[in-house]
Every structure is written in structure tokens, then in C-alpha cells.
């Protein structure tokens, strides 16, 4: 029987071991969780335990006599790095870690030395270390992940024990200038400026875990403001502190800028004269009261702060609506419109203010309302004074125009009746004198007498024209439509313009005032056309409508820029157009003028017929 196919029994019998010892040995051998086998000098398996059988999924009969490279690796000679080969040289334990399929195996080979000191074989143990390997891999990966996280952090991260640094990340190195080896073993407070060291040390040792600020100290001695938070971690009965530290220089600068800017604006608002600024919280309690508010409302800042808006400056009858409006703004976002309102002083007198409002969120996210009030008392008074002066001016100009009309009528009558009569009397008297004179008058005297006749006639004609121009008696006697017809006939002859006249619905005469104004408007418009327009044709339309009398005068002349001439403070161009406007406005009518260079001029007037 070949040696390699011997059974346990046969080997045991040969070795002649006591039976119980043998049984104990077998049981122990089989109870081992690792796969164990005994090999001879050539690496052939003499004996194997049960774990080996299940590991190779073969019976001991199939295993014994084979080599492990045949059985495990399926090769006909030892694999590379085979510990058996090495052990034969070293006579010492040799190991190998290898992966077979998805399993990690730890192979140990121990030499068996016989009584002569020669190598008789070896003990071969194969342990499945897959789970250990997996755990090691997981730990390695987790360590790498942790390192990655810590390195990628914008914060400097330190791990310390009892205030001494054990570890830091690369951000910490960049931030402070200490290399990892310089950092390890250094006291944590060495990263902190002397004035804050005690506080930081206390925080570290007491396990304080809230965010706090301190001045950090770099290796080069420079400092910067930092935000720090530490956390105590416990493992293997050790307590370490993980500290994260942030450079907050930029934030501090921004905060400082903000603070300064807030300070600036606050002081502007505090001191700005004549603009009363008040701040209220969402419940209308006063939180801000500037100097101008003190002056305007009569309450000192100390008196005002903490009081309710409505109790201080809102007149009693407005309180409910103001409370409602503020509530609506705070709760529903409906803003209070800015505008003029009456508010109340400390002495309970009311006065007009122009009030604007804003709602802001403070740093705590709470709503605050600010009111900006401008005292309108003086402006109101000035407006009223202006209105009164305008009224007075209107009255004055209407009186002037009426007086002018009266005067023109009087002079016109005087010229017509007195001067006209006088000239007629002169003509009659000359004629009767002429009859009494001898017939043989010299030609010179005859010529002079003829001249006197002609001069008297001319003067009489001119006086008649002047009298009509000043105030045609026709206007009073026959009315607007025939007077304008007469006037336009004379105008047409004098100017050679193509004048079209369109009276519409004027059977019934309007009041003498309306007639006079329309007559004067037409007269001035036509004068302007002669003086300025260089027009070829003119249309004059007067129309009596239901409730108003309308006049429309249009020319096809060169036109002009209206704005340059209607500004009341610019009287360079004369007073014709302004006079028209004034006359129309006295009768509460509407005046409109349209003109542009090269496109003629249109004037239209509408006067109500009361």
C-alpha cells in the first residue's frame, strides 16, 4: 500500500499511540477552524483535518498523497512565493497571504524536524482571513475618506487631547504656517493670541461645544479673527477634542463696514434737519425718533420711545384707520401710500405733513416701519398765498380788460360823435364861407379851400375807422356775426389775404362779454397773421353750440414754437397771445393753440354760455 494512501488508523497503529491520546489528538486536529495538514519532505499531504476537507470540498482520501499546489492552485509545481519552498531553505516558519477566488487566505508553513535534526516534513495551516481583510479595507477606505473630507474643508481642523495637538488638516497648515510635524505635540493655545488663551483653554478643557470667537495667532506672529467650535469625541476610553476654526477676517470687515455705514446713515437720519424720521416696530411702538421729529412734534426722544404711534401723533379721528393700515401692511404686505395728511403735535394742534413710509426687516428678521414726514405748513401757506395772489391778479386783469373795453368804447364814441361832428361842422362852415366869398378868387385860394375839404373828409374817414377799430359800435348794435363780417371785409381788402368766414348757428346772440372776447380774440389772431405768419389763406369759424361758443382760427403760414411764447415769465414775444388767454379764462373758457414751424397756426377757443 503506498504511503500516501494510508488511513488515520493505519498511521496511528504504526505509531502505536495510546488509544485515548490518539482519540484526543484526532478530535483536536479536526476541531481546529483553520485547514491543517501534515506534509512530507516533498510537499505531499500525509494527513489533513476536517476543515481542510471542507475547504477543498474533497474527502481525506482524495486529499492525502496530493500536493497543495495541485489541490489548491491546480498547478504541477509550487506557485511563485510558495512558503514550503522558502521554509525548506530557512527551516523557519514561512507565511503567504494570497487571494483565491474571492477569498483571502493566510498560509503558514512550519518545519517538522526529526530526532536527527533533519527536515522531516511540514505543518501547513490555511486560515480564511477574508473577513479580517474586508474590515481592514473598510477601515483604510474610511480613513482615506476622512482625510479627504478634512483636507477639502475650508476650515482648519485640529484633533487634540488634553489641550495638545494630535492631528491637523492641510487647511490648518496653510492658515497658520505650522507643518504637521511641527503641529503635533504643540499646545492648542499656541494657535491663539495671548489675550484669548485663557478663555480658549477653558473652553477646550471644559468641553464647551458652542461657537465662539477668538483672535488666532499664526506662526509668523500675525493675528486674525477666528470663529471656533470644538466637539468632544470619546473612543477607547480616550477623550479627544475635534476643533474647527474659520478665518472670519472678511466677514468681520464686512460687518465693520456695515456697522459704519449703518452708523453713518443713522447719524444722517438722526441729524437731518426738517425731515422727521420715526421708526416703529410691528406693534406700532416707537423705536426711533430723530431730532427733526422732536422739533416737529414737540416730544423729546426719551418721551417718544416706547410709546404707541397713534397715542402720540395721530389725531383722534384717524387712529382706527391708521392702526388698521399698519396692521394691513405688516400682516398682508399692503403698503401705506405716501401722501399729505394731518398729524398732531404734543400741544394737540394739528398741521399738514407729507408722509412717506417704508417697512424693513431688522437683523432679527422682525419688521420695522419707518415714517418720513415733512412739515407742509409753510408750503401750504405759500400755496395759499400764491393762489390768493393769482386770484387777485385775475381779478385785476379782468378789471383792467373791462376798464380798457369801457375806455375804448368811450374814446370810440367820443371820436365818432364829437370829433366826427366837429369835422362835419368844419366842412359845412367852410362851404358857407365859400358861398360868401367873391367869385374872382385867386386859384391859390380856391386850391387851398379844396384841400381843406379833402383833409376834413380824410380826417373824418380816419376817425371813423379808428373809432371802429377801437370798439365798433356795430358790436353792441348788431352783434358779433355782422361785426366780424365787416371786420374781415376790411381786413381782406387791406391785406389781400384769402379770408374765409364761417359763422355757424349764431342766430341767437350770446352775452356782450362773450361777443367782446370772441371779437378781440379774432382781432388779435388776425393781427398776428399779418404781422408774423406770412400766410396765404385764413379761416375764421365761429360756432354757437349747445353750451358754449366756439371760435376756430387757422392760417397756413410759417407757424412757430408754441412753448417759447406761452411761458408766462417770457414776455419777449408780446402780450397778444397772453391777452387772448386771459380774456378767455376770465369767462372760464378753454384756450388752445397749436402751431409748429412750417405747419401754420390754429387757435381754438370755447367759452361757456351761462
Interface residues with Mg ion (CB under 5 A) are 528, 574, 576
183 vs 497 by CB, closer to ligand ATP: 497
Residues 6+ positions from 357 with CB-CB distance below 8 Å: 329, 335, 336, 338, 369, 370, 371, 372
- Residue 560 partner contact from Mg ion, ligand ATP, none using kind-dependent CB cut-offs of 5 to 8 Å: ligand ATP
Please say whether the dihedral angle defined by the alpha carbons of residues 463, 469, 475 and 480, taken in this order, is positive or negative: positive
Please state the φ and ψ torsions of residue 175, each to the nearest 5 degrees.
Answer: -70, -40
536 vs 574 by CB, closer to Mg ion: 574
Using an 8 Å Cβ cutoff, are 408 and 470 in contact? yes
Query: How far from each other are the two terminal CA atoms of the chain, in whole angstroms?
Result: 151
Site for ligand ATP in 481-540 (CB under 6 A): 528-529, 531-533
Write down the least CB distance from residue 565 to Mg ion, Å: 10
- Residue 573 partner contact from Mg ion, ligand ATP, none using kind-dependent CB cut-offs of 5 to 8 Å: ligand ATP
Write down the least CB distance from residue 468 to ligand ATP, Å: 19
Polymer length in residues for the chain:
610
- Tell me how far apart the alpha carbons of residues 223 and 213 are, in angstroms, rounded to a whole number: 13
Using an 8 Å Cβ cutoff, are 244 and 155 in contact? yes
Write down the least CB distance from residue 339 to ligand ATP, Å: 39
Site for ligand ATP in 286-325 (CB under 6 A): none
Write down the least CB distance from residue 579 to Mg ion, Å: 8
Supply the DSSP symbol for 415: I
- Residue 601 partner contact from ligand ATP, Mg ion, none using kind-dependent CB cut-offs of 5 to 8 Å: ligand ATP
Cell triple for residue 484? 366780424
Residues 6+ positions from 245 with CB-CB distance below 8 Å: 155, 156, 157, 158, 172, 175, 191, 216, 226, 227, 228
- Residue 299 partner contact from Mg ion, ligand ATP, none using kind-dependent CB cut-offs of 5 to 8 Å: none
By rule CB under 6 A, what count of residues binds ligand ATP? 17
Give the range of 31-39, 292-300, 482-490, 552-560 binding ligand ATP by CB under 6 A: 552-560
- DSSP characters for 138-150? HHHHHHHHHHHHH
- Residue 565 partner contact from ligand ATP, Mg ion, none using kind-dependent CB cut-offs of 5 to 8 Å: ligand ATP
Write down the least CB distance from residue 501 to Mg ion, Å: 20
Write down the least CB distance from residue 529 to ligand ATP, Å: 5
- Tell me how far apart the alpha carbons of residues 406 and 97 are, in angstroms, rounded to a whole number: 134
Write down the least CB distance from residue 520 to Mg ion, Å: 12
Residue for grid cell 471644559: 206
Write down the least CB distance from residue 518 to ligand ATP, Å: 17
56 vs 499 by CB, closer to Mg ion: 499
Give the range of 38-46, 351-359, 437-445, 575-583 binding ligand ATP by CB under 6 A: 575-583
Write down the least CB distance from residue 452 to ligand ATP, Å: 36
* Position 577 contacts ligand ATP (CB under 6 A): yes
- DSSP characters for 12-77? HHHHT--HHHHHHHHHHHHH-SSEEEEEETTSBEEEE-HHHHHHHTS-HHHHTTSBHIIIII--SS
* Position 602 contacts ligand ATP (CB under 6 A): no
Residue nearest Mg ion, CB atom distance = 576
- ∠ CA 345-347-351, rounded to 5°: 40
Give the range of 147-155, 200-208, 502-510, 556-564 binding ligand ATP by CB under 6 A: 556-564
- Tell me how far apart the alpha carbons of residues 52 and 66 are, in angstroms, rounded to a whole number: 13
65 vs 573 by CB, closer to ligand ATP: 573
| Angle between helical axes of 377-413 and 576-586 (0-180°, round to 10) | 100
- Tell me how far apart the alpha carbons of residues 463 and 429 are, in angstroms, rounded to a whole number: 19
- Residue 83 partner contact from ligand ATP, Mg ion, none using kind-dependent CB cut-offs of 5 to 8 Å: none
Q: Which of 303, 576, 604, 609 binds ligand ATP (CB under 6 A)?
A: 576
- Residue 555 partner contact from Mg ion, ligand ATP, none using kind-dependent CB cut-offs of 5 to 8 Å: ligand ATP
* Position 599 contacts ligand ATP (CB under 6 A): no
309 vs 518 by CB, closer to Mg ion: 518
Write down the least CB distance from residue 570 to ligand ATP, Å: 10
Q: Which of 565, 602, 604, 609 binds ligand ATP (CB under 6 A)?
A: 565
296 vs 518 by CB, closer to Mg ion: 518
* Residue (of 366, 363, 282, 365) closest to 327 by Cα position: 282
Strand partners, 440: none
Identify the three-state secondary structure at position 369.
strand
Which stretches of 414-535 are DSSP H helices?
Answer: 420-436, 443-470, 473-477, 480-495, 512-528
Residue nearest ligand ATP, CB atom distance = 574
Cell triple for residue 82? 510558495
* Position 582 contacts ligand ATP (CB under 6 A): no
Give the range of 41-49, 397-405, 456-464, 573-581 binding ligand ATP by CB under 6 A: 573-581
443 vs 568 by CB, closer to Mg ion: 568
Residue for grid cell 402780450: 575
Give the range of 307-315, 503-511, 536-544, 567-575 binding ligand ATP by CB under 6 A: 567-575
Please state the φ and ψ torsions of residue 162, each to the nearest 5 degrees.
Answer: 50, 40
- Residue 532 partner contact from ligand ATP, Mg ion, none using kind-dependent CB cut-offs of 5 to 8 Å: ligand ATP
* Position 581 contacts ligand ATP (CB under 6 A): no
Identify the three-state secondary structure at position 163.
coil
251 vs 531 by CB, closer to Mg ion: 531
- Tell me how far apart the alpha carbons of residues 489 and 540 are, in angstroms, rounded to a whole number: 12
- Helices (runs of H) and strands (runs of E) counted in the chain: 23, 20
Using an 8 Å Cβ cutoff, are 522 and 515 in contact? no
Cell triple for residue 558? 410759417
Q: Applying CB under 6 A, which residues contact ligand ATP?
A: 528-529, 531-533, 555, 557-560, 565, 573-577, 601
Amino acid at each position: 500500500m503506498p504511503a500516501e494512501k494510508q488511513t488515520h488508523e493505519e498511521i496511528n497503529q504504526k505509531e502505536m499511540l495510546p488509544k485515548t491520546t490518539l482519540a484526543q489528538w484526532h478530535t483536536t486536529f479536526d476541531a481546529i477552524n483553520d485547514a491543517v495538514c501534515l506534509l512530507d519532505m516533498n510537499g505531499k499531504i500525509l494527513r489533513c483535518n476536517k476543515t481542510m476537507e471542507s475547504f477543498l470540498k474533497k474527502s481525506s482520501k482524495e486529499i492525502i498523497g496530493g500536493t497543495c499546489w495541485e489541490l489548491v492552485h491546480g498547478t504541477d509545481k509550487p506557485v511563485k512565493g510558495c512558503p514550503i519552498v522558502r521554509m525548506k531553505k530557512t527551516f523557519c516558519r514561512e507565511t503567504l497571504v494570497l487571494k483565491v477566488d474571492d477569498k483571502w487566505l493566510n498560509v503558514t508553513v512550519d518545519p517538522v524536524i526529526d530526532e536527527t535534526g533533519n527536515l522531516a516534513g511540514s505543518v501547513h495551516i490555511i486560515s480564511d482571513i477574508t473577513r479580517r481583510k474586508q474590515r481592514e479595507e473598510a477601515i483604510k477606505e474610511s480613513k482615506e475618506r476622512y482625510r479627504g473630507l478634512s483636507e477639502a474643508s475650508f476650515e482648519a481642523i485640529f484633533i487634540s487631547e488634553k489641550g495638545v495637538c494630535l492631528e491637523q488638516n492641510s487647511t490648518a497648515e496653510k492658515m497658520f504656517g505650522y507643518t504637521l510635524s511641527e503641529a503635533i505635540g504643540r499646545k492648542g493655545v499656541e494657535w491663539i493670541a495671548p489675550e484669548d488663551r485663557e478663555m480658549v483653554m477653558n473652553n477646550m478643557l471644559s468641553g464647551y461645544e458652542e461657537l465662539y470667537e477668538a483672535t488666532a495667532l499664526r506662526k509668523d506672529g500675525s493675528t486674525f479673527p477666528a470663529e471656533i467650535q470644538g466637539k468632544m469625541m470619546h473612543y477607547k476610553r480616550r477623550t479627544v477634542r475635534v476643533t474647527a476654526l474659520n478665518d472670519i477676517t472678511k466677514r468681520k470687515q464686512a460687518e465693520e463696514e456695515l456697522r459704519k455705514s449703518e452708523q453713518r446713515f443713522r447719524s444722517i437720519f438722526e441729524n437731518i434737519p426738517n425731515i422727521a424720521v420715526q421708526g416703529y416696530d410691528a406693534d406700532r411702538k416707537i423705536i426711533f425718533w430723530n431730532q427733526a421729529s422732536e422739533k416737529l412734534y414737540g416730544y423729546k426722544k426719551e418721551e417718544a420711545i416706547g410709546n404707541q404711534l397713534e397715542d402720540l401723533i395721530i389725531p383722534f379721528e384717524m387712529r382706527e384707520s391708521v392702526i388698521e393700515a399698519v396692521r394691513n401692511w405688516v400682516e398682508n404686505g399692503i403698503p401705506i401710500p405716501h401722501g399729505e395728511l394731518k398729524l398732531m403735535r404734543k400741544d394737540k394742534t394739528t398741521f399738514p405733513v407729507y408722509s412717506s413710509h417704508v417697512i424693513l426687516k431688522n437683523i432679527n428678521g422682525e419688521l420695522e416701519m419707518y415714517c418720513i414726514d415733512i412739515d407742509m405748513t409753510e408750503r401750504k401757506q405759500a400755496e395759499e398765498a400764491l393762489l390768493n395772489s393769482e386770484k387777485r391778479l385775475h381779478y385785476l386783469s379782468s378789471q383792467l380788460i373791462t376798464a380798457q373795453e369801457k375806455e375804448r368804447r368811450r374814446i370810440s364814441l367820443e371820436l365818432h360823435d364829437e370829433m366826427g361832428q366837429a369835422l362835419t361842422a368844419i366842412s359845412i362852415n367852410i362851404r358857407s364861407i365859400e358861398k360868401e366869398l367873391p367869385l374872382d378868387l385867386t386859384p391859390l385860394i380856391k386850391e387851398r379851400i379844396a384841400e381843406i375839404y379833402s383833409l376834413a373828409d380824410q380826417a373824418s374817414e380816419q376817425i371813423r375807422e379808428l373809432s371802429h377799430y377801437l370798439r365798433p359800435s356795430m358790436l353792441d348794435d348788431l352783434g358779433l356775426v355782422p361785426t366780424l363780417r365787416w371786420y374781415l371785409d376790411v381786413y381782406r381788402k387791406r391785406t389781400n389775404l384769402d379770408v374765409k368766414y364761417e359763422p355757424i348757428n349764431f342766430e341767437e346772440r350770446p352775452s356782450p362779454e362773450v361777443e367782446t372776447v370772441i371779437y378781440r380774440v379774432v382781432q388779435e389772431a388776425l393781427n398776428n397773421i399779418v404781422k408774423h405768419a406770412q400766410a396765404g389763406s385764413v379761416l375764421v369759424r365761429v360756432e354757437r353750440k349747445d353750451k358754449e361758443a366756439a371760435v376756430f382760427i387757422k392760417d397756413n403760414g410759417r407757424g412757430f414754437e408754441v412753448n417759447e411764447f406761452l411761458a408766462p415769465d417770457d414776455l419777449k414775444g408780446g402780450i397778444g397771445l397772453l391777452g387772448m388767454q386771459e380774456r378767455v379764462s376770465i369767462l372760464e373758457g378753454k384756450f388752445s393753440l397749436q402751431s409748429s414751424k412750417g405747419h401754420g397756426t390754429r387757435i381754438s377757443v370755447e367759452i361757456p354760455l351761462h
